[in-house]
Amino acid sequence: MKTIILSGYSPRNKEWAEDVKKNLDLEHPVLVHEWEHWKGGAMSVKRELERIIQEAGSEDLNIIAKSVGTRVAMQFILRKTNKVEKIILCGIPTVSGENAELFRRALENFPSKNIAVFQNEKDPFATYGEVKEFMDKVNPEIVVVKKPASSHDYPYFPDFSSFLK
């Protein structure tokens, strides 16, 4: 078992991902995926998925994804290269119909009890209300946890640890 962290697009999300890794209380390895564009390349979902597959190896996985990482996580799940045990999504940034269809396809056969969504009440990219409505279209059984913040920061390490245990 491994947990892989797929953070947001901005290079400052690397610090968030490292904080998540440092503060998780798990008894298995935790990996931080570093986006290629952080080192000067361009963002290519196809190349990122290939790199994530390599990093994951053949082990079962948990995924913690934030912002753009949530969309990449859905693409990864659709590839069915690893058995994904649990998924934490936080800061879902867009609630478009296209995004809902991607999430629905990726999660349609995934046990809803193994998915946790954390969304800040007034996240500047998408509010809790917008994400709750969005996830109800994807699968109304998936729990969306409202956090009392107005930022795109997700420092909920104890919540992450207890969900993944």
Region of poorest pLDDT, from 18-22, 58-62, 78-82, 99-103 = 78-82
- Sheet containing strand 143-147, strands side by side: 30-32, 2-6, 61-66, 84-90, 115-120, 143-147
CA-based angle 38:47:57, to the nearest 5?
100
Q: Of 68, 70, 62, which Cα lies nearest the Cα of 2? A: 62
Query: pLDDT tier at 22 (50, 70, 90 boundaries)?
Result: very high
* 3-state DSSP assignment of residue 5: strand
The whole-number pLDDT of residue 90 equals 98
- The pLDDT, as a whole number, for residue 117 is 98
Core vs surface per residue 65-75: b (16+ CB within 10 A) or e: bbbbbbbbbbe
Round to whole Å and give the CA distance between 5 and 67: 11
Q: Model pTM greater than 0.85? A: yes
Question: Where are the domains positioned within the chain?
Answer: 2-164
Per-residue pLDDT tens for 90-109?
Answer: 999 999 999 999 999 999 99
Determine the pLDDT at residue 41. Answer: 80
CATH of span 2-164 = 3.40.50.1820
